[in-house]
Structure 1
Amino acid sequence: MPEPEHKAVLHRYLRLAREALLWKLEGLGEYDVRRPMTRSGTNLLGLVKHVASVEAGYLGDTFGRPFPERFPWLDDDAEPNADMWATPAESREDVIGLYHRVWAHSDATIDALPLDAPGAVPWWPEERRDVTLHLVLVHITTETCRHAGHADVVRELVDGAIGYRAGNANLPDGDERWWEEYRERVEAAARTAAGRA
């Protein structure tokens, strides 16, 4: 596959992962997009804020193309995990707008550089710091998909909504009763297996 096609495929999967992550916020109120649904505080808007920050670093600083905005939540004196939740002063529109600006900045980097363009990830150990755009594209797509998966689970916990994106549930087409019976079968299998252990 020629490099432009290969780069286009990688870029397409990054875009799909970005859209899947943002889609998980649609239709929810302010509380539900911020609501911590795990012991570690995982929440939908925080996932978007985190992924925006991470992408800006990997597709900006790594290639000498720093994102022009400062992220105070990443300062040395910032509270731990400050990138994983939105303060009351940070609106949903602020966080989503930031993510869209990061997309534009990252997309410009992807468009401008060949896949073998060298970069250096400043926060990685020195022996692994030297990278290429290809490696970073795979890394950031994987990172975005990982957090989109977290968002899948968090959204289901918030209001029961499931699916990959609008118009593509990527799950069996069962009604409420079907899902209840399915879950009961899974639970029964888990108990049976635990009983044999």
Structure 2
Amino acid sequence: MDANVPPVPDERSGLLGFIAQQRRVLKHAAHGLTEEQLRATPSASALSVGGLLKHVAFTERGWTNRITGGPEPSGAEGYNQQFELSESDTLESLLADIDAAAAETEAAVADVDLGHPVPVPKGQPWFPKDIEAWSVRWVLLHLIEEIARHAGHADIIRESLDGATGIELLAAAENWPESPWLKPWHPKQPT
């Protein structure tokens, strides 16, 4: 059930469980979207649900590479371009990419000491200049924060597109039965 993280036996499982849950919530915001809706920017910002999926996969991959000592991810020249969809980006490809980034994260932290230092990126104004490294634990907590923030953005964008709310989308994605107080989301029929 995506509404809650199941009980966790240890810290690593808890951190990865909450990251996975926030990823699922973000993916639910895309449930049933058309390709046009995936790219839509219905608010004052330039954010789209598809752009948020792309950014989260890019960001998670960047942090995973920092943990493992790998290269910075390529494919986006600048921060804003991480949110821009190309012609080849589809809902299916974006969901596959976020799942691939998730698998990379889980593999990277499977056996690493959670206190292991992770270098603070240099040359970006949002990172402190006076800290050399954070821990893997800090990175995982930061990913929970980052993905949750963008899942909230996606919820607002989605509701602006077709009125669908997070709980209705969750119910649809998990095939919950309709109840007097909750109806799973269904595409609106044309009138």
Q: TM-score, normalised by structure 1?
A: 0.75
Spell out the pairing of 1:91-106 with structure 2 (5 A cutoff). 91-106=90-105
Contact 2:51 2:85 in 1 (8 A): yes
How far, CA to CA, are the matches of 2:161 and 2:64 in structure 1? Answer: 32
Letter in 1 for 2:16: H
Aligned to 1:20: 25
1:126 aligns with 2:134: no
Moved more, 58-67 or 141-150: 58-67
Aligned to 2:89: 90
Contact 1:120 1:131 in 2 (8 A): yes
How far, CA to CA, are the matches of 2:88 and 2:62 in structure 1? Answer: 23
Consecutive unaligned residues of structure 2, counting only runs of 5 or more, are: 1-8, 184-191
Aligned to 1:155: 158
In structure 1, the residue corresponding to 2:134 is in which secondary structure?
A: strand
2:170 to 136, 153, 166: 166
2:55 to 26, 30, 50: 50
Contact 2:29 2:166 in 1 (8 A): no
How far, CA to CA, are the matches of 2:166 and 2:35 in structure 1? Answer: 21
| Alignment RMSD | 2.5
Deviation, structure 1 residue 100 = 1.3
Select the structure that is richer in helix.
Answer: 1
How far, CA to CA, are the matches of 1:152 and 1:133 in structure 2? Answer: 28
Deviation, structure 1 residue 66 = 4.1
Deviation, structure 1 residue 128 = 2.4
1:40 aligns with 2:40: no
Moved more, 84-93 or 39-48: 84-93
Consecutive unaligned residues of structure 1, counting only runs of 5 or more, are: 176-197
Deviation, structure 1 residue 90 = 2.1
How far, CA to CA, are the matches of 1:90 and 1:82 in structure 2? Answer: 13
Q: Residue deviations 1:76-126, cap 9 Å, x none? A: xx5x61111212232222222221111111111121212111111224333
Which protein is bigger by CA-based radius of gyration? 1
Letter in 2 for 1:157: S
In structure 1, the residue corresponding to 2:130 is in which secondary structure?
A: helix
Q: TM-score, normalised by structure 2?
A: 0.77
